[in-house]
Structure 1
Amino acid sequence: MTGKIRVAVVFGGQSGEHDVSLRSAQAILRHIDRERFAAIPIGITRDGHWLIGGDPLKELAARSRLPLEPELTEAAADLKQGAPQRLLIPEPILAGSVDVVFPVLHGPYGEDGTIQGLLELAGVPYVGCGVLASAVAMDKPTAKRLFASVGLDQARWLAFTHHEWHCRQDDLIGQIERELGYPCFVKPANLGSSVGVSKARGRAELVKAVELAARYDRRIVVEEAIDARELEVSVLGNDEPVASIVGEIVPSREFYDYEAKYIDSNSQLLIPAPISEEQAETVRRMAIEAFRVIDGAGMARVDFFLERSTGRILVNEVNTIPGFTAISMYPKLWEASGLCFRDLITRLIELALERHQEQRRRRSR
């Protein structure tokens, strides 16, 4: 391990995307270049304890509702023997025992700026967006307002708190029906992987969908349903981000929900997306603009709708810690663009170290 860069791959966490995070970490640990990097797996349990040493991925996977990918079972981490230690704070990270952190924590308490703030305080480089971009992208209403500020087209939407829903439910239902209509999509304001997302076709389904979303967040977003194709593009870089080729999701179900993403294997990923070059260039340009308006760094996957009836391209959301599973678009799009999984991981780590060095230079002036 002498001379290798020590990379802590942090996964699990307390969000509804805990199980998906394990699959992403599994793929990263499998593909990381072990000639250059010493991979140190660090798991976070659902109750917020840090598992360090041993094989925390195996321990968390034993209680996961989403099995690990069988083709990625080969151990790729530099593991210590024995059971993992269960800690309340990440002592090896805060004590400087790692050189860089690769957070693979999808959703709240990992993708929303919280762990990024901890790492900033500790002075530890980390892969991906900083505190501001992470928090903004995770909070759908805030991100949507920023997209609107630079003229990025998007679906109509409304947001409200669960408290507001209980206090004036009839008023909000009326507003949704007037401004958005049915069908519409109901989502937690801060979550991903389609967890807690429902399609409401009428008032009864709307009420049920809001109550489901409220299990995951105190704030709820309702969006108009667009008859559209779903496009995705991967962004990579710091001050000079670049966009991959464009891919298309063809869900196996009515929409690309959790089941269609991770359980049902019949969803299709079309790479490249069968769209015109002009449309592809527009999507790439809008992806970089969305990345820049949130002050992104390192990586993001930007999702779009291509409206069938009009050809309008609408930005949906930015994911600052996209999936790295065997079926995830982020690495697949870069592979199709000429950057293999191993080299993508290497480039992300390099970008993290470059950004950290630039921050240190500014602080020392």
Structure 2
Amino acid sequence: MKKTVVAIAMGGYSSEAEISIKSGNVVYESLSNLEYEVYCVHILKDSWQYVTEQGSFEVDKASFGCIINNNKIVPDVVFNTIHGTPGEDGFLAAYLKLIGIPQTSTGFYEAALSFNKRDCLSVLKNFGINCAISVYHNKGEKIDVDSIIQKVGLPCFVKPNRAGSSFGVSKVSTAEMLIPSIELAYKEDREIIIESALVGTEVSVGTYKHNGETVSFAPTEIVSENDFFDYEAKYQGKSQEITPARITKEETNQVQQAAIKVYNLLNMKGITRSDFIIQNGTPFFIETNTTPGLSKESIIPKQAKERGLSLSTFFSQLIDDALN
């Protein structure tokens, strides 16, 4: 019986490429001993390559396959672990859709919508999802510091509109900090979002479909040693990630239901991770990630473990869902 050929897409064109490769390698290790023929595919700005023990082989973009030792390899399914562009913003999903290869993350439109924080917030607010007060700016526009602070207050957060892993994000405590923080965010994206700082417990919830039903993992509580859950906190051990979160049963149910509602409203597929801050017992939506980190430091693997799911089993479920 022919094995299912799985190509694990990793890397990408953004600052998150190195993190994505870590995620992809965890998926590779988890699937290699199962009933799959598994390949790592590094998608980088200067090349697309199948990376194997025999060497690196250029991707044929007409089929997303390659030739290894005179054998034509074409994947039956792509496991998408690319954070940022082109894996999280819909470009990879659109390309694979055109050439007829299923993939494990959400569709191209849904990915593009959720990757654009401003558009995503605008849609979800209209469906009654609680969100922080926010102001939008584009590079080159005049910045009225007083007007911004009057609307969102201090402290506030400045974020690139389309970036991940907290690259370019700043917590602003004084009016003098606002302009430098905006300039930092513009290094990642020409569109930014400035939003009020919510005070409460930060949690993250993995959500996916299993047997046709949308389900959520137990939420993870984020306790950062820094001012917020920045790059150091996420990837360099400067935080505690407590699963399940130390919140009430009612708050757990509320945030899980909010994550499921967001997943269904945005018509998601695959695994997503939605971030919330529970303020005065109410979950406020921050953002959703359609290709969340899967490295050993990441939240989703910890939540799967808490559920009693091995990564091999969980990743196989995502592949089966994509194929079906």
Shorter-chain TM-score category? Answer: over 0.9
Q: 2:275 aligns with which of 284, 303, 313?
A: 303
For normalisation by structure 2, the TM-score amounts to: 0.93
Partner of residue 91, structure 2: 114
Match of 1:251 in 2: 224
Q: Gaps spanning 5+ residues in structure 2: where?
A: 67-71
Would you say 1:189 and 2:161 are equivalent positions? yes
1:66 maps to which residue? none
**Structure 2 counterpart of 1:327:** 297
What is the aligned partner in structure 2 of residue 340 from structure 1?
310
Instruction: For 1:53 and 1:341, locate their aligned partners in 2 and report how far apart those are by CA, in whole Å.
Output: 22
Q: Is the 8 A contact 1:232 1:302 kept in 2?
A: yes
The sequence identity of aligned pairs, in percent, is: 31
What do the CA deviations read for 1:110-162 (whole angstroms, capped 9, x no partner)?
Answer: 10100000000000010010012111110001110121111011111111211
Q: Of 105, 130, 136, which aligns to 2:82?
A: 105
Shift in Å, 1:252: 2.0
Check the 8 A contact 1:146/1:293 in 2, yes or no: no
CA distance in 1, matches of 2:2, 2:12: 30
1:339 and 1:98 mapped to 2: Cα distance? 26
The residue number in structure 2 matching 1:13 is: 12
Answering whether residue 131 of structure 2 is matched by residue 161 of structure 1, we say no
What is the rounded CA distance, in whole Å, between the counterparts of 1:113 and 1:37 in structure 2? Answer: 26
What is the CA-CA distance between 1:35 and the residue it aligns to?
Answer: 2.6
Matched, 1:131 2:104: no
Q: Name the CA distance, whole Å, in 1 between partners of 2:223 and 2:291.
A: 22
Q: Could you say which residue in structure 2 is the equivalent of 1:69?
A: none
> What CA distance in whole angstroms lies between the structure 2 residues aligned with 1:6 and 1:87?
15
SS at match of 1:151: coil
Corresponding residue SS for 1:21: helix
The letter for the 1-side match of 2:98 is L
Q: Give 3-state SS (helix, strand or coil) of 2:159's partner.
A: strand
Query: Does 2:323 match 1:349?
Result: no
Which structure's residues are more often helix, by fraction? Answer: 1
Aligned to 1:279: 251
CA distance in 2, matches of 1:285, 1:85: 44
Structure with a larger share of its residues in strand: 2
Q: State the Cα deviation string for residues 150-202 of structure 1 (Å, max 9, x = none).
A: 101111111121122xxx223xx232111111111111101111111111122
Q: Does 1:149 align with 2:149?
A: no
* Aligned with 1:237 (options 198, 204, 209): 209
1:226 aligns with 2:191: no
Structure 2 equivalent of residue 42 of structure 1: 41
Q: Distance in 2 between matches of 1:104 and 1:352?
A: 14
Pair 1:24 & 2:23 matched: yes
* Cα shift at 1:228: 1.9
Give the C-alpha shift of residue 19 in structure 1. 1.2
| Equivalent residue number for residue 215 of structure 1 | 187
What residue ranges of structure 1 are gaps of 5+ in the alignment? 55-78, 355-365
Give the secondary-structure state (helix, strand or coil) at the position aligned to 1:51: strand
Q: Aligned AA for 1:201? A: S
Asked if 1:51 corresponds to 2:23, the answer is no
Alignment partner of 1:288 is 2:286: no
Contact 2:42 2:51 in 1 (8 A): no
Query: Displacement, 1:86?
Result: 4.5
Report the equivalent of 1:203: 175
- SS of 1:132's equivalent in the other structure is helix
Rate the CA distance shift 1:101–1:215 in 2: closer, same or farther, 3 A: same
Within a 5 Å distance, the mapping from 1:168-179 to structure 2 comes to 168-170=142-144, 173-179=145-151
Q: For residues 281 and 85 of structure 1, do their structure 2 counterparts lie closer, same or farther at Cα, with a shift above 3 Å needed?
A: same
Change (3 A) 1:122 1:90: closer
TM-score (norm 1): 0.83
Equivalenced residue count is 318
2-side partners of 1:285 and 1:347: how far apart?
Answer: 22
Once residues 18 and 90 of structure 1 are traced to their aligned partners in structure 2, the CA distance between those partners, rounded to angstroms, is 23
- In 2, are the aligned partners of 1:33 and 1:342 still within 8 Å (CA)? no
Shift >2 Å, 4+ stretches = 85-96
- Find the aligned partners of 2:227 and 2:267 in 1 and give their Cα distance: 33
In the TM superposition, what is the alpha-carbon distance from 1:52 to its structure 2 partner?
1.9
How far does residue 91 in structure 1 lie from its aligned partner after superposition? Answer: 4.8
Rounded to whole Å, the distance in 2 between the matches of 1:228 and 1:292 is 25
